[in-house]
Amino acid sequence: FCHPAWCYHLPSCNDTTWSTIVPQYCNGTRQSPIDIVSASATPNDNLSEFTFVKYDDTSSMTSIKNTGNTVKVTLKSGVKISGGDLSEQYDSLQFHLHWGDGSSVPGSEHTVDGKRYPMELHIVNRKSSYNGNTSLALNDSTGFAALGFFIEVMSGNSTGQPESWRNLTSYLANITEKGQNVSIAAGFSLDDLLVGVDRTKYYRYLGSLTTPACYEAVVWTVFKDPIKVSKDLIDLFSTTLHFNDRTSQIMKNVYRSLQPAQQVWTQSIKASASTTCFSLSLLLLSLALGWSWS
Ligand SMILES: *[C@@H]1O[C@H](CO)[C@@H](O)[C@H](O)[C@H]1NC(C)=O
Ligand SMILES: *[C@@H]1O[C@H](CO)[C@@H](O)[C@H](O)[C@H]1NC(C)=O
Ligand SMILES: *[C@@H]1O[C@H](CO)[C@@H](O)[C@H](O)[C@H]1NC(C)=O
Ligand SMILES: *[C@@H]1O[C@H](CO)[C@@H](O)[C@H](O)[C@H]1NC(C)=O
Ligand SMILES: *[C@@H]1O[C@H](CO)[C@@H](O)[C@H](O)[C@H]1NC(C)=O
Ligand SMILES: *[C@@H]1O[C@H](CO)[C@@H](O)[C@H](O)[C@H]1NC(C)=O
Ligand SMILES: *[C@@H]1O[C@H](CO)[C@@H](O)[C@H](O)[C@H]1NC(C)=O
Ligand SMILES: *[C@@H]1O[C@H](CO)[C@@H](O)[C@H](O)[C@H]1NC(C)=O
Ligand SMILES: *[C@@H]1O[C@H](CO)[C@@H](O)[C@H](O)[C@H]1NC(C)=O
Ligand SMILES: [Zn+2]
């Protein structure tokens, strides 16, 4: 992407200035992130399961980089998703993170009913049919599919958990400065990082990239369940990395503020509720008729 100068931490380029820096997109009408109001989400049973290809591959992550605004992990080719009511297959290109100030100052981008989580992980996917042409995808209102996962502090006093996150965060000390990039050794997969999330339960809406140029080209999927990571590992993000060189500010509060609401869809709870009602009616009927199992 061709990024104009922008930042999170200086008054001259923080997110209050983005709609001036890139007025044609960052001041658009379907900007991300948003607060998701769970009670207002429209039921949509087209929101089927995803198929995740190579998410179980323990060598899918090739390198990890301090971009000056986030930590970005590049995925090898062949990692992809389909299903989930997406119009076609999308290639998973990279994931990166957003955070506040450790486990105490939350910094997820999306919020749910006003709740902000400590961190948020974004997997960025591009329509496979564009054969790697990002400009074409940016000009398509559904050219990208972003998967958002909330990260919450694991309860109890555990440290270094889960092991996949200990493995991932072990590289942060190697990329403390902007531009630093190291290879990731094989040994853990995307599935290992996305532990504990029921990936059939999610919110869906049409939005944008959350960094300039804020292209309105993103189908958002925000999963309901958070990934649980121990406090010590969450804290590493806001204590290890710098925006620039070693003498610059520590990288904190790397998230965009909330944008105006959009229509949000989610799976209806009807399916399981009707099963319950049906079982309950059967039970009542059987009691009424005095049936027995013997
Ligand atoms: C961003 O910069 C503006 C001035 O441009 C300032 O008023 C505001 O407090 C800053 N916000 C943050 C979160 O730093
Ligand atoms: C953003 O859009 C609003 C209304 O759509 C307009 O009033 C405002 O001037 C725009 N801001 C910039 C910086 O273009
Ligand atoms: C589900 O998909 C069908 C076929 O594409 C479409 O006609 C229908 O409007 C969709 N339902 C919702 C709730 O979007
Ligand atoms: C992307 O596609 C456009 C339109 O077909 C073309 O002009 C451009 O050169 C392509 N870009 C790349 C990087 O292939
Ligand atoms: C961008 O998309 C519009 C339609 O949405 C199309 O008319 C235009 O040709 C596209 N531009 C490029 C460069 O592909
Ligand atoms: C966590 O550690 C504190 C202080 O060591 C202790 O009081 C507390 O019971 C521990 N909590 C759990 C869930 O282990
Ligand atoms: C963590 O990394 C080690 C060394 O690369 C690897 O053997 C192990 O499988 C990884 N475990 C998890 C859960 O990621
Ligand atoms: C990360 O830094 C440690 C300590 O300096 C070093 O031993 C290790 O080889 C580095 N790892 C990578 C992948 O560069
Ligand atoms: C990291 O460096 C490797 C080569 O050392 C390069 O192939 C890769 O594209 C770089 N990754 C990023 C995100 O810059
Ligand atoms: Zn992001």
Domain residue ranges of the chain, discontinuous segments joined by +? 18-268
pLDDT average, residue stretch 171-182: 98
Does 292 have pLDDT greater than 70? no
Pocket test for ligand 2, best of 6, 27, 216 (most atoms within 8 A of CB): 27
* pLDDT band (50, 70, 90) for residue 269: confident
Residue 3 CB partners (closer than 8 Å, separation 6+): 211, 212, 213
Q: Is 170 in the pocket of ligand 7 (CB under 6 A)?
A: no
Q: What is the dihedral of CA 126, 129, 133, 134, to 10 degrees?
A: -30
Q: Which helix (H) or strand (E) holds 234?
A: helix 231-240
Q: What's the token pair of residue 28?
A: 């658009």
Nearest CA residue ID for atom 1, ligand 1? 11
- Of all ligands present, the nearest one to the C-alpha of 134 is 4
Residue 90, pLDDT score: 98
Residue 288, pLDDT score: 47
Residue 3, pLDDT score: 53
Does 144 have pLDDT greater than 90? yes
Atom of ligand 6 nearest to the CA of 155: 13
Residue 270, pLDDT score: 60
Does 4 have pLDDT greater than 60? no
Domain over 18-268 is classified CATH 3.10.200.10 = yes
Q: How far apart are CA 131 and CA 61, in angstroms?
A: 20
Does 62 have pLDDT greater than 60? yes
Burial 191-222 (b: 16+ CB within 10 A, else e): bbbbeebebeebbbbbbbbbbbbbbbbbbbbb
Q: How far apart are CA 33 and CA 113, in angstroms?
A: 13
pLDDT average, residue stretch 37-61: 98
Does 281 have pLDDT greater than 90? no
Pocket test for ligand 9, best of 64, 65, 75, 178 (most atoms within 8 A of CB): 65
β-pair partners for 223: 202
Residue 89, pLDDT score: 98
pLDDT average, residue stretch 225-237: 98
The one-letter amino acid code at 137 reads: A
Residue 294, pLDDT score: 37
Does 98 have pLDDT greater than 80? yes
Q: What is the mean pLDDT of the chain?
A: 93
Does 291 have pLDDT greater than 60? no
Does 133 have pLDDT greater than 90? yes
**Cα-to-chain-centroid distance, residue 103:** 17
Q: How far apart are CA 107 and CA 72, in angstroms?
A: 16
Nearest CA residue ID for atom 4, ligand 3? 46
Q: Is 48 in the pocket of ligand 3 (CB under 6 A)?
A: no
Q: Is 182 in the pocket of ligand 8 (CB under 6 A)?
A: yes
Q: Is 170 in the pocket of ligand 8 (CB under 6 A)?
A: no
Q: Which of 205, 231, 264 is nearest to 106 (CA)?
A: 231
pLDDT average, residue stretch 75-94: 98
Of 19-23, 134-138, 251-255, 278-282, the one with minimum mean pLDDT is 278-282
Helix, strand, coil fractions of the chain, as percent rounded to 5: 20, 25, 50
pLDDT average, residue stretch 15-33: 96
Answer for the pair 256, 14: CB distance below 8 angstroms, yes or no.
no
Q: Which of 159, 129, 163, 141 is nearest to 208 (CA)?
A: 141
* Distance from the alpha carbon of residue 13 to the mean position of ligand 1, in angstroms: 9
- Of all ligands present, the nearest one to the C-alpha of 173 is 8
Residue 163, pLDDT score: 98
Measured over the CA atoms of residue 202, residue 208, residue 212 and residue 213, the dihedral's sign is positive
* pLDDT band (50, 70, 90) for residue 137: very high
Nearest CA residue ID for atom 4, ligand 6? 157
Answer for the pair 199, 50: CB distance below 8 angstroms, yes or no.
yes
